[in-house]
Chains A and B, each alone.
Chain A
Amino acid sequence: MVESRWWITALTHAVLLLGVLVVLLPIYLAFVASTHPVQNVIQVPMPMLPGGHFWENYSQVLGRGVPTVGNVPIAVMLFNSLVMALGIAAGKIAISILSAFAIVYFRFPLRMAFFWLIFITLMLPVEVRIVPTFQVAADLNLLNSYTGLILPLIASATATFLFRQFFLTVPDELAEAARMDGAGPMRFFFDILLPLSRTNIAALFVILFIYGWNQYLWPLLITTDRDMTTVVISVQALVSVMEEEPQWHLLMAVAMLAMLPPVAVVLLMQRWFVKGLVEPEK
């Protein structure tokens, strides 16, 4: 920067550290609470350092579940969340990359009509068409199934646009050369276009995995069996019984488990994540 006066630098770091504190405090205290027995957590003020009940609390919620919400092990719900998040991420990428390929590399009747049809999905999040979408899913027997959790959420205008933008920057010479060598469109797609899109796919995968993992309204509606539901929904189920039997230590352990996979993905794949998030807007 331009100035290098010591107090400006000190102020800069003070503000940043305060910001980091505010951002990380809720996560830290949730972790602390998840490592104590319940009587420590409900005393006021609660302890500020982790306790010795880490294994007790986590093995209970993972292996045996919580009695007040049906004793379903959280491990089962973590698995459901994982299936849903991977299914949504992989499904969205697969169908979007194929449609972007069709729209960029072919001319055919109704091309623009299809393009606009996909575009419209951008304007219709689940939240605005709750009841009729639920009816469709119920009519198709999709309640309490992985297909029901995944399929309605995999149409994606944003991913299609992203791939379309990227394909438009791929040099025409590549397609030309492939055609001269006698490669058909699908050969070109699998041997040239797909390997070129690797970075874009990785970036998109991080964003979509988090999107899928954190889905709330749709799993809430479509899963009524406790052992088909996701870990985020089970956090809410635990909160709703907190009045009768406060088990904050277990609730916080479940909340930590619900955060861990997406936070780990963001931190480990930070480079792709930032690229995927910020750069499509440029």
Chain B
Amino acid sequence: MQKRVLFHNPWLPYVLLAPQIAVTLVFFIWPASQAILQSVLLEDPFGLSSQFVGLENFQRLFADPHYLNSLRVTAVFSIAVALLALTTALVLAVMADRALRFAVGYRTLLVWPYAVAPAVAGVLWLFLFNPTIGILAYLLRGVGISWNHYLDGGQAMLLVVIAAAWKQISYNFLFFLAGLAAIPRTLIEAAAIDGAGPVRRFWTIVFPLLSPTTFFLVVINVVYAFFDTFGTIHAVTQGGPARATEILVYKVYRDGFIGLDLGGSAAQSVVLMAIVIGLTVAQFRFIERRIQY
């Protein structure tokens, strides 16, 4: 799309763009290129000299059992978060869509967690699941489950998944609700007249028509689970116990800032950049497709 009416000025557009471009160059492009550069260098522990090692950092990375573990943990974590947050939100949105008059009231009650920081969300659930004083840990003991996420890696994973998904429900809910409102009522009424019950109508009409929204949300939720949940992990489990919740972003932080392995951390950054670029491309292919509708 092009504007017909344009202003002419040889220098003004550059002045207008300057602040944005300056910040982008200094804090985005330069650090990103440094990360790529460092990923092919091996630095000595004192940072005095470095030598070119090609793809050695990457070979080392993919031979590292801890990194492979982190890849697996991240996959499990993001799939679980996306699945839990999406299904819960979809059920609630379908119900709220039925509750016509009360939909806005329920929306008001359900949007809260969107505003809560991921780290704070983690701490709220940490309080509920604390092995000694947590109310949910107490209830679980009542039914014979001994809860201690400080020792049990599976339970620690479950805790961070719940905390991360809880925060994401509101976002998904709002998008599903908007998606549902866009489905023509006549289609649903026609199906009802033909004798299709609510469940059948959902699977044959509503769910397929929601698929653009669902696909968009899957990408957004995966991006969220990959990057925005750093605060949840850092505040709740610190990647433990025994690296059971060490997602990729947490490992980059730990290796770079605590382990001071710059080459390894930079190689991890480059892998993460590739993942983000992949996800962004997926997201934009989807938006293009939706425009053709």
Residues on A lying within 8 angstroms of B by beta carbon are 1-3, 8-9, 12-13, 15-16, 19-20, 22-27, 29-30, 33, 41-46, 94-96, 98-99, 101-108, 111, 114, 117-118, 120-125, 127-137, 140, 151-152, 154-155, 160, 168, 172, 175-176, 179, 184-186, 188, 210, 213-214, 216-217, 220-221, 232-233, 235-236, 239, 246, 248, 251-252, 255, 258-259, 262-263, 265-267, 270, 273-274, 277-278, 281-282
Contact = CB atoms under 8 A, between A and B. Distances in A.
A104 B6 CA distance: 8
Contact of B276 (A44, A123, A188): A123
Given A24-B112, A121-B28, A214-B117, A232 B231 contact: yes
Chain A, interface SS category = helix
A16 B92 contact: yes
B70 interface: no
Given A117-B29, A172-B5, A252-B127, A95 B19 contact: yes
Nearest to A271: B104
B110 interface: yes
Contacts of B113: 23, 27
Which 5 A-B pairs have CB atoms at the shortest separation, nearest pair first?
A216-B231, A132-B31, A214-B117, A262-B115, A132-B34
Contact of B115 (A121, A210, A246, A281): A210
A182 B113 CA distance: 50
7 contacts: A26-B127, A29-B135, A94-B19, A123-B277, A235-B120, A239-B236, A263-B112
Contacts of A184: 7
Contacts of B262: 131
A135 B3 CA distance: 41
A188 B98 CA distance: 46
Interface size range of chain B in the complex: 35 or more
Interface in B1-23: 1, 3-10, 12-14, 16-17, 19-21, 23
A135 B31 CA distance: 8
Contacts of B1: 168
A131 B35 contact: yes
Interface string B228-250: 00110011100000000000010
B95 interface: yes
Contacts of B21: 99, 114, 117-118
B143 interface: no
B20 A251 contact: no
A273 to B, nearest CB: 8
A95 B175 CA distance: 28
Nearest to B116: A259
A239 B237 CA distance: 11
A235 B23 contact: no
B11 to A, nearest CB: 9
